[in-house]
Amino acid sequence: DLPGTGTLLRNLNPEQYAAVTLGPEPSLILAGAGSGKTRVLTTRIAWLLSTGQVSPGGLLAVTFTNKAAKEMLTRLSAMLPIAVRGMWIGTFHGLCNRFLRAHWKLAGLPQSFQILDSGDQLSAVKRVIKAMGLDEQRFVPKQVTWFIAGSKEDGQRPKDVEARDPQTRKMIEIYEAYEAQCQREGVVDFAELMLRTYELMRDNASLREHYQRRFRHVLVDEFQDTNRLQYRWLKVFAPPQAPDGAGPQGVFAVGDDDQSIYAFRGAQVGNMADFEREYHVRQVIKLERNYRSFGNILDSANALIAHNAHRLGKNLRTEAGPGELVRIGEHPSDYAEAQWLLDEAQALHRSGVARSEIALLYRSNAQSRVLESALFNAGIPYRVYGGLRFFERAEVKHALAYLRLIENPHDDTSYLRVVNFPARGIGARTIELLQDAAKVGTQSLYQSVGAVAGKGGNNLAAFNALIDGLRERTRGLTLREIIGQVLAASGLVDFYRTEKEGAERIENLEELVNAAESFVTQEGFGKDAVALPVDETSPGAIAGSPVGAAADIPAPDAETGEIQSPLAAFLTHAALEAGDNQAQAGQDALQLMTVHSAKGLEFDCVFITGLEEGLFPHENSLSDGDGLEEERRLMYVAITRARQRLYLSFSQTRMLHGQTRYNVKSRFIQELPEGALKWLTPKHQGFGSGYAREYQSAWSRGSGLGSVVGMGRVEGRPTYAAPPPPPMLQKAREAEHGLRIGQTVFHNKFGEGVIVTLEGSGSDARAQVNFGRHGAKWLALGIAKLTPVD
Ligand code: ATP
Ligand code: MG
């Protein structure tokens, strides 16, 4: 052991040890889930720092999510007594933001440029389409947005995109106009952050050399999910051939081809092979021991992923023993599934598992709604990652728009959002006039107000005066005070006071003040903020400084050393933040997220819900083999999140996008080893027997006839007493369709069956019929033709 690093390296196995202590050469660690890739990467950073091989400012580390970046900083500060804040550790977007803040002038951006989140971006694209007089039916804003993002992720500006056909040619024109509009307004979207940074590094030799010399070590986690542009980005910061006299740069990439789940967004798993070749990696290190999960969980993951043909090939083993069986269960409906899950989670919590150690995973965001409402009704704290984020809620975005205008009045997206919100007599006609005037003079809306005459013009001028006044009045105030002033002076709070459901919105606005407050304390802004120690090798670029955490906090201006105001930094943070503000900070809450956002994380107990054909694997993936393999990798990611206990569940019916769907269980279930599973419901009998029936009572949708959930508890275990529906209600049900429970009916496809359950009314009426050989089916009575036999 090197002196002083004993404790750091003691808990590594030989392969991990070898990886951590590799020399400054390009390295690739290829290893399965839970084998310690992230741990190796983090330990390597700590080792490099503690042995003095690199200074905090000489390190660049990229992770995929804000959560992962924070996690890494936390782990790091636990290992080393250094100030990790201000280190270049963050997401690609966060690091690009930091870079562009430092070099805004060279990048051709205004100093106070703002970041467009996906919602803003869509409305910006819509404005362009409208201004060009194009039809939204032919140029669907969402598709145009994808086109633009896709082009940027391929490193293509409008002039680089091939105009294959007239439609594409028009799209390129929109792309061009969109770029011009963003530039005029001083805003950048997420893909632009990456592309701008890449281009500036590519085109500016002295800057490139500076950073290549500066970053002695560059580390990338989850390398399998980098897209083409991200890989090129890596190559400009740490090229295979270091500049003359700069000495070797350590490039350390870790990844798992079996966890590549972003192909749909342009991720190139082939980047791993390219990296190995282009960087002349001498030896790919593999880690095969899994430290996260027990044997049954791991066996399930291994068996599942073995069904994929395109793999680099590796297996995982554990020495932890088999552990518990993987629990699996079938439910009559998504609602019943949610009820069951909620009870199970509560039981786990009562037995001592922290809520934050229980994850509820689902394939699609839309699935969270039913889970959320069940949790909400039961008063169980939960937190959703990657859903509708706090900063994306309408009222919060309104408040942020005012704040952004204080920073930069030329931000037309924000201007349009609030110029007449709350209403101040500025109609659509006035705004059209203003937009026309702005277009002629190629100026911002704010600048063009003088061109609009009459009452509308006066009202616009008053709005400008409001913004200017706020800017004057809030100068030098704390973030909290600024937001307070804005909420009052904008009229937002007064407006929501008069609204019927405004109370919750006002709460969210108050929460914004809290968010600002915790931003200030966490990130070191505010009165205690210390002057930045400037990295001597680069005027203006910060070394490991006490100010700023992760990469949300940008470096100061490279020339002047000026740093962003707390307000500007907070606005950046708001645009980059991935939903961490959902539940109250610090509260122990169940963790809800899509499988995609669970990447890299781990929990004691994991529920994977909605294992149904069409949902998981997703129906969009079923047409081609590649799509199905990506879904399987996604399932592999989901399974391998669990440390101790894994639950799988599926349901026969599900409300999605306003429709009831009747589902078949996912093929992935068949791909799991029988010996590792424990069925909570009878396995082949399908529905209608034993356990599943217990949950019928929980299935009520408030569709008029649905009975109230009958739920009781016996000795702390959840039970589902199934009270028979009151006789009157039962009568009503029978009368409506002329069907009754116990009746034998004939169905064209499934033949004869017995009605087990009748639910709902009108177009929502449904029956559960046991068809013997075909098993039990839920049928929508409005569609299915059931002929009484007896
Ligand atoms: P994923 O592919 O899911 O991102 P990973 O390969 O990055 O997984 P880590 O998250 O680094 O894996 O590690 C998984 C778990 O195993 C962590 O809790 C980590 O602390 C633990 N672990 C890793 N290596 C060891 C070890 N040598 N001794 C004890 N625990 C370890
Ligand atoms: Mg990891």
Rounded to the nearest whole angstrom, what is the distance from the C-alpha of residue 71 to the centroid of ligand 2? 11
Closest to 710 in 3D by CA, of 720, 700, 701: 720
Q: Whose CA is nearest to atom 20 of ligand 1?
A: 39
Spacing, Cα 294 to ligand 1 middle (Å): 13
Q: Determine whether the shortest distance from the Cβ of 44 to ligand 1 is under 6 A.
A: no
Residue nearest to ligand 1 atom 8, measured at CA: 34
Q: Which of 16, 197, 249, 259 is catalytic?
A: 259
Q: Which atom of ligand 1 is nearest to the CA of 33?
A: 2
**Ligand closest to the CA atom of residue 259:** 1
**Residues 397 and 597 sit within 8 Å (Cβ to Cβ):** no
How high is the pLDDT of residue 555?
Answer: 56
Return the pLDDT at 656: 66
pLDDT score at 726: 34
Residue 705 confidence (pLDDT): 25
pTM exceeding 0.95: no
Regarding the beta carbon of 290 and ligand 1, being less than 6 Å apart is answered no
The candidate with the shortest Cα–Cα distance to 393, out of 577, 554, 521, 190, is 577
Check if the interface score ipTM surpasses 0.95. Answer: yes
| Strand boundaries in 34-103, DSSP class E | 59-63, 88-91
Closest residue by CA, ligand 1 atom 13? 36
Residue 546, pLDDT score: 25
Residue ranges, the chain, pLDDT below 50: 1-4, 387-388, 524-554, 578-583, 685-735
Residue-wise pLDDT for 638-668, tens only, equals: 999 999 999 999 999 887 655 678 889 999 9
* Catalytic-residue membership of 126: no
pLDDT score at 116:
83
Q: In this structure, is the dihedral angle defined by the CA atoms of residues 237, 241, 242 and 248, taken in order, positive or negative?
A: positive
What per-residue confidence (pLDDT) applies to 659?
64
Could you tell me how far CA 68 lies from the centroid of its own chain? Answer: 12
By DSSP bridging, strand 786-788 and strand 744-747 are antiparallel
Task: Say what angle helices 394-407 and 502-523 make with each other, to 10 degrees.
Answer: 50
Buried b (16+ CB within 10 A) or exposed e, 198-217: bebbeeeeebbebbbbbbbb
Ligand 1 atom closest to Cα of 13?
27
Q: What does the pLDDT read at residue 118?
A: 75
Could you please report the per-residue DSSP string of 212-272?
HHH-SEEEESSGGG-BHHHHHHHHHHS-SSPPTTS---EEEEEE-GGG---GGGTB-THHH
Q: Is the CB of 255 under 6 A from ligand 1?
A: no
Q: What pLDDT does 761 receive? A: 65
Q: Which two tokens stand for residue 355?
A: 């809520």
- Of 698, 719, 701, nearest to 709 (Cα)? 698
Our answer on whether the CB atom of 78 is closer than 6 Å to any ligand 1 atom is no
Identify whether 259 is a catalytic site residue: yes
pLDDT value of position 202: 96
- Which pLDDT score is estimated for 5? 60
DSSP label of 554: P
- In short, whether 679's Cβ falls inside 6 Å of ligand 1 is no
Question: What is the pLDDT, as a whole number, of residue 710?
Answer: 27
Residue 630 DSSP symbol? H
Contacts (Cβ under 8 Å, ≥6 apart) of 14? none
Q: Residue 221 catalytic?
A: yes
Question: Could you say which of 235, 355, 383, 641 is catalytic?
Answer: 641
Q: Residue 4: its pLDDT value, please? A: 47
